[in-house]
Amino acid sequence: MEPLRDEELMLRYRDGDASAFDALYGRHRAGLFRFILRQCPSRGEAEEIFQEVWMRLIEARSRYRVEARFSTYLYHIAVNRLIDRSRRKSNAPVPSLDDPDCPESFAVAGAAYDPLRQTAARQEAARVLAALAELPPEQREAFLLHEEGGLSVGEIADVTKVGPETAKSRLRYALQKLRQALGDRDE
Amino acid sequence: MSDLRGQTDDGAELYTEDVSRAYRLAAREEPGPEVDAVVHAAAVRAAGSPSRFPGRRRGAWWGVPMAVAATIVIGVSVAFLASDRPDSVSQLNESQRSLPAPSAAPASAEVPAADAARQIPAPEGETGGQAPVAAAAREARPTRERTTRDQAVPRREQYAGRPPAPASAAAPEAARSMRKTAPEVRSTEENEPLSPEVWLQRIRELRNKGEVAQADESLRAFRRRYPDYPLPADVPLPAQVGK
């Protein structure tokens, strides 16, 4: 049996089916959290915003209409919350690899039984995350919307309220820099 | 998580598996269980709230109690009216009895139940109009038997001015009141004086029928009424009349 689409789950939750929300939450909790975490100075603040995003979704459930993919809807809320936060305080840097609030950033899956591979993977992940942290906020946001939210260029443009060409350009530059960071591993 | 190739033009050329894989390896963070618990609790709480059916069932929780209350109120009102109706009819009967029977009877006989129903206050919501009145009249019919048993005054007969069936204490009285009409007609010689000629003619007729005592009594009454009227010769004044 084919799993229900996100939009169908949200409609069910709107009509009172709490289990539909659990399914939605399970699908999007990790990606949304990382999307927020990469743009917050601390894990604590990321969790706070993450919680606010879901609360907004819960509060607005009665007005939900299927006008776009659910991911677009959800990440739109998250982007707005991040904008609100940045307006309240100066934009803080994204967590670095040395951030003690993000110890799991270094838990690299698949390398647990090979210390050498684990070390290499950790180094590669560290470089990607470091490069990501160094990206301009708009490029980082575009990359994360694509990578964590699975949004297309057009959806990124909708969520960030820019034209498709601008969104594509931001994504392209982000990828260039990240790849460059990975290419630097042998340097 | 996704492959950008096919979604962008020149941007896709820059994307490689290495970038995505490296990021996937690094990005393993998840929200803490306490955050999950808070969000889950809020979602379940919201799903169980009355507003979970937006625009559809909101506010419907009071529908059932309201319907029950309305049913009780209407039922009590109808029961009250039904129990009160015989009293209204009996009051109407009393007032009808007190009226001069011969003159009132023919007119009221044409409108028995409807008139009675008009005197019954309509329940709230049934404000005027013929339909509620007709409905009240229809409702009054089943109570007619009880009214008849209780008061022995069938409504139609009473309105028609006929003597009611002597089935209870009220019946003989009504019958007496109806029968009274005959003596009253006879006594009109004194109460409602006839003209002297007519009166004297009646006295002659009584004498001719041999009812001498009654004729003398009537003549004495005539004399009291018309002391100066000259009596004709064929109506001799008895010896006591002048006294």
List, for residues B19-66, the tens digit of each pLDDT value.
778 888 888 889 999 999 999 999 998 887 644 443 344 445 566 677
pLDDT of B234 strictly over 70: yes
pLDDT of B9 strictly over 90: no
Q: How confident is the model at residue B16 (pLDDT cuts 50, 70, 90)?
A: low
| CA distance to A111, B223, B235, per residue, from B230 (Å) | 153, 10, 10
Structure confidence at residue A155 (pLDDT): 93
pLDDT of A55 strictly over 90: yes
Structure confidence at residue A116 (pLDDT): 65
CB-based contact B26 A105, cutoff 8 Å = yes
Q: For chain B, first and last CA: distance in Å?
A: 140
* B86 or B192, higher pLDDT: B192
**DSSP designation for B8:** B
Read off the amino acid at residue A173.
Y
pLDDT of B105 strictly over 90: no
Cβ atoms of B193 and B199 within 8 Å: the answer is yes
For residue A110, the tally of other CB atoms under 10 A from its CB is: 12
Among A17, A29, A111, the residue with its CB nearest the CB of B30 is A29
Q: B8: which chain A residues are within 8 Å (Cβ-Cβ)?
A: 153, 168, 171-172
Structure confidence at residue B59 (pLDDT): 47
Structure confidence at residue B142 (pLDDT): 40
CA nearest to A141, candidates A84, A65, A83, A64 = A83
Rounded Cα gap, residues A159 and A167, in angstroms: 10
Structure confidence at residue B22 (pLDDT): 82
ipTM (interface pTM): 0.79
pLDDT of B211 strictly over 60: yes
CB-based contact B22 A58, cutoff 8 Å = no
Q: How confident is the model at residue A37 (pLDDT cuts 50, 70, 90)?
A: very high
Chains A, B: CB pairs < 8 Å: 141
The percentage of residues in chain A with a pLDDT greater than 90, rounded to a whole number, is 51
List, for residues A87-126, the tens digit of each pLDDT value.
877 555 444 444 444 434 433 444 444 566 667 777 777 8
List, for residues A120-155, the tens digit of each pLDDT value.
777 777 888 889 999 999 999 999 999 899 898 999
Residue of A nearest to B38 (CA): A51
Rounded Cα gap, residues A111 and A183, in angstroms: 21
List, for residues B114-173, the tens digit of each pLDDT value.
343 333 333 333 333 343 333 433 444 444 444 434 444 444 434 344 444 444 444 445
Residue of A nearest to B41 (CA): A18
Average pLDDT of the residues of chain A? 83
Structure confidence at residue B54 (pLDDT): 39
Cβ atoms of A40 and A94 within 8 Å: the answer is yes
Rounded Cα gap, residues B193 and B9, in angstroms: 128
The pair of structure tokens assigned to B152 is 């022995």
Rounded Cα gap, residues B241 and B97, in angstroms: 39
Among B2, B25, B36, the residue with its CB nearest the CB of A146 is B2
CA nearest to B31, candidates A157, A127, A71, A51 = A51
Read off the amino acid at residue B134.
A
**DSSP designation for A54:** H
Structure confidence at residue A88 (pLDDT): 79
The pair of structure tokens assigned to B187 is 């006594």
Structure confidence at residue B38 (pLDDT): 93
pLDDT of B182 strictly over 70: no
pLDDT of A29 strictly over 50: yes
Report the Cα A66 to chain-centroid distance in Å: 22
Among A30, A108, A121, the residue with its CB nearest the CB of B30 is A30
pLDDT of B221 strictly over 50: yes
Instruction: Report, in this order, helix, strand and coil percent for chain B, each rounded to 5.
Output: 65, 0, 35
| CA distance to A149, B80, B144, B195, B206, per residue, from B220 (Å) | 127, 60, 51, 15, 14
Among A33, A63, A125, the residue with its CB nearest the CB of B31 is A33
3-state secondary structure of A5: coil
The pair of structure tokens assigned to B95 is 């007032």
CB-based contact A125 B38, cutoff 8 Å = no
pLDDT of B3 strictly over 50: no
Q: How many CA atoms lie within 13 A of A179 on its CB side?
A: 14
CA distance A39 to chain B (A): 13
pTM (two decimals): 0.49
Structure confidence at residue A118 (pLDDT): 65
pLDDT of A20 strictly over 80: yes
CA nearest to A28, candidates A2, A54, A59, A3 = A54
Average confidence (pLDDT) over B75-82? 81
Average confidence (pLDDT) over B83-96? 54
Q: How confident is the model at residue A78 (pLDDT cuts 50, 70, 90)?
A: very high
Angle formed by the axes of helices A70-88 and A6-14, nearest 10°: 70
pLDDT of B4 strictly over 70: no
Cα radius of gyration (chain B): 47
The percentage of residues in chain A with a pLDDT greater than 70, rounded to a whole number, is 82
- Beta strands of B92-185 (E only): which ranges? none
Residue of B nearest to A171 (CA): B11
Instruction: Report, in this order, helix, strand and coil percent for chain A, each rounded to 5.
Output: 70, 0, 30
Structure confidence at residue A126 (pLDDT): 82
Q: B29: which chain A residues are within 8 Å (Cβ-Cβ)?
A: 30, 33-34, 37, 43, 102, 104-105
Optimal mutation site among A58, A94, A117, interface B, most CBs of chain B within 10 A? A58
Rounded Cα gap, residues A123 and B237, in angstroms: 157
Optimal mutation site among B7, B10, B13, B61, interface A, most CBs of chain A within 10 A? B7
- Beta strands of chain B (E only): which ranges? none
DSSP H or E stretch at residue A24: helix A18-37
CA distance A64 to chain B (A): 10
Q: A35: which chain B residues are within 8 Å (Cβ-Cβ)?
A: none
